[in-house]
Amino acid sequence: MANLIVNGGVPLNGRIRPSGNKNAVLPMMCASLLTAEPVTFTNVPDITDVAKIGAYFREIGSEVEHDVEAGTLRLHHPKTLDPAGAEHLPLGIRSAVLLLAPVLHRMGRLRFDVDAKGCALGIREIDPHIDTLTTFGAALDKSGGIDLTLKTRPEARSIWAEYASVTATETFAMIAAVAEGTSVLTNAASEPHVQALCRMLSDMGAGVEGIGTSRLTIKGRDRLGGTTQRVPDDHHEVATFLAFGGVTGGQVTVETDIIAEMPLILEQFGKLGLQFETREGEVTVTGWTRQVTQPLTQQMTAKIEAAPWPYFPADLLPQAVGVAVGCEGDVMFWNKVYEGALAWSSELAKFGVRAHLSDPHRLILFGGNRLKPAEVEAPYIIRVVVGLAIAAMQIEGRSKILKADPLRRAHPNLIENLTRLGADIAWEG
């Protein structure tokens, strides 16, 4: 496992473009299996999960042309694929669950043990995915793991989800896109990456209505066509660069075409004293007051709540915590998506931060801390590595973040980009 060495207290300045969204490119890659025609992606982030899914595609007989430097990826899955792929899903990555619907559609069968991995963010159920596939007509055998078969074209169904799950919504969208008839999902997730997948399916020929809402209506097609898609910019990375710039006392401008997705995100970071200027195609962090905006009701504590889109994203809560360690004023962070996702906050004490973990979902951070550099250990959660780095970057002196490898799963070249902005940060090991 590699570590990060951070020498903090150095202002970051300059202009930067974010990477393509990890949470968009992975389901979009999986959806390419739904067609036997070529699919091309641009703005593809150079992350490990993209490489792992690409390796799986090669194993089953697909053509994979990945130009890492140009950020392009061309996939072509011929009509005949290696059926052994139905039993060898790349379960070492969380996004493997997004292969279930496409593999079942192409091969008529899939089998796996319940061992899909990913970040250490609470207990994640696979049941919604299996339930969706069986609702669309797949037969399930649980006698030796999970064994699904689908001998005929799936038939359209209507589902009312008990939770607006991103990946379950994506599974629904993919199987509905090839089903016979019109399917409806109520309580659908509406995150930007879900919208990107739905737009892709629409461009491939499926009839998709309600993109960006909680109700998706999809008219399936017997045969989907090829397409060329640009992976949208990562709104997590937009906010991340702005946070790094703000806490170091610099001015960083992020050039992006997703400004329309940023208002609430910028507002919540603004509660922590970060100041922004937004123009067409770019947003700049211009200052940091360090003052937490307190509610008018004096008995209340300022809070930042993370919940499914269009609320503040749970994947940005660690970055907000990283900013808040240097603030004056108390603030509560509430993760309504994952249990245990704030347990890493115990590491903040090594920086001199005073915090109280109220329960598996809520953390109170006390302001006015006398911060000091430290050696901290990151859990296997991508965004927590970023949050710890944001905290370390604002503290003068040398800090070390142990086990920082998960960063590579979502943020390609983040360290190199931060260095170009003036940061003194480097990999060790």
What pLDDT score was predicted for residue 123? 44
List the domain boundaries for the chain. 3-19+233-428, 22-230
pLDDT of residue 122: 43
Are residues 334 and 304 in contact, defined by beta-carbon separation less than 8 angstroms?
Answer: yes
Closest-CA residue to 31 (of 133, 86, 102, 100): 102
Q: Is the peptide bond before 102 cis (omega within 30 degrees of 0)?
A: no
Q: Do 22-230 and 3-19+233-428 fall under one CATH topology?
A: yes
Superfamily holding 3-19+233-428: Enolpyruvate transferase domain (3.65.10.10)
Q: Where are the alpha helices (DSSP H) in 274-348?
A: 317-324
Residue 296, C-beta contacts closer than 8 angstroms, at least 6 positions apart: none
Q: How far apart are CA 57 and CA 64, in angstroms?
A: 7
The string of DSSP codes covering 329-354 is S-EEEEESS-TTTTGGGGGGGGGT--
421 vs 352, 418, 424, CA distance in Å? 27, 5, 9
Q: What pLDDT score does 115 carry?
A: 55
Is residue 252 within 8 Å of 285, Cβ to Cβ? yes
What does the alpha-carbon distance between residue 253 and residue 85 come to, in Å, rounded to a whole number? 44
- pLDDT, position 402: 98
CA dist 317 and 334 (Å) reads 8
Question: Which residue positions in the chain have pLDDT lower than 70?
Answer: 114-124
Q: State how far Cα 285 lies from the chain centre.
A: 23
What's the pLDDT at 124?
A: 56
Widest pairwise Cα distance in the chain: 66
Looking at the DSSP bridge assignments, the partners of residue 274 are 288
Stretch (H or E) spanning 67: strand 63-67
Q: What CATH topology corresponds to 22-230?
A: UDP-n-acetylglucosamine1-carboxyvinyl-transferase; Chain (3.65.10)
* Whether 162 contacts 214, CB under 8 Å: no
Burial 17-52 (b: 16+ CB within 10 A, else e): ebbbbbbbbbbbbbbbbbbbebbbbebbbebbbbeb
Q: Rounded to whole angstroms, how far apart are CA atoms 198 and 200?
A: 5
Give 343-380 pLDDT, tens digit per residue: 999 999 999 999 999 999 999 999 999 999 999 999 99
